[in-house]
Copies of this chain bind each other. A is one copy, B any other.
Amino acid sequence: MVLLADHDPSDCHSRLIQAATEVFIEEGYRASIERVAVRANVARQTLYNHFPSKADLFGEVIKQATAALLVTLDGKAEGLRERLLRFGIAFRAKALSSEGLGFYRALVAESKRFPELAATFYRTGPAQTAARLRGVLQEAMDRGELRPADSEFATTTLLSMLVGAERSHFLLSGESPPEPDPARVAQLVDCYLRAFASEISHSNPAPQRSVP
């Protein structure tokens, strides 16, 4: 379980959130409260001692997982390509993992029923990640490593390329999620850099090696 690691198994509250996270990822919000309680080795009443309702429990799960889904972008020392590679690998690992896909499925499924929850998740999760990436790309543009462009567009495009169609593929096709594939990330990042490379300066290399 990637999404929650720091849980004291002797603590009911933690065990409940852990169990609920797993169950909601597997079955979505439709999963019964009973299943969560059983998974946590706890009586149903105990669950209600800790959370006023199923919706609150769901909210708590989303809230805690949101933080765990943020993808780091540090590594100022590295060059742009290396930074994007590390980011891309981490991003894909979370988004295309079995947990990431299940989480996404559950949240999308309930985004009509819990609109404010979904919006909050989006703002504090994906949108945060996008904002940080945008900063990195904007700096690279300022340095002349990337051609000047709308940084919102540049950010969205990279994020789209990294998971876009594949997320849908694994959500719908029934195939089990892919192994992490750093080579594919390299292909994508190089592709991206080729499209966004500065027209003048080629100080930022966009190796063609990884495009077969």
Judged by a CB distance under 8 angstroms, whether A163 is at the interface is yes
Contact A199 B206 (CB under 8 A): no
List chain B residues, Cβ under 8 A from A75. none
The interface residues of chain A, by DSSP majority, are classed as: helix
Docked complex Cα distance between A212 and B27 (Å): 44
List chain B residues, Cβ under 8 A from A85. none
What sequence of 0s and 1s flags, for each residue 158-176 of chain A, a beta carbon within 8 Å of any chain B beta carbon?
0111111111110111100
Judged by a CB distance under 8 angstroms, whether A147 is at the interface is yes
Minimal beta-carbon separation of A174 from chain B (angstroms): 4
Judged by a CB distance under 8 angstroms, whether A207 is at the interface is yes
Binds B, one of A6-14, A33-41, A112-120: A112-120
Contact B169 A122 (CB under 8 A): yes
Contact residues of A between 161 and 212, Cβ < 8 Å to B: 161-169, 171-174, 184, 187-188, 191-199, 202-203, 205-212
20 more CB-based (< 8 A) A-B contacts, given A126-B172, A194-B206, A206-B208 = A26-B112, A28-B109, A28-B112, A111-B174, A118-B174, A119-B174, A148-B212, A149-B211, A150-B211, A150-B212, A157-B161, A157-B188, A159-B164, A161-B164, A163-B164, A198-B207, A202-B208, A203-B210, A205-B212, A206-B206
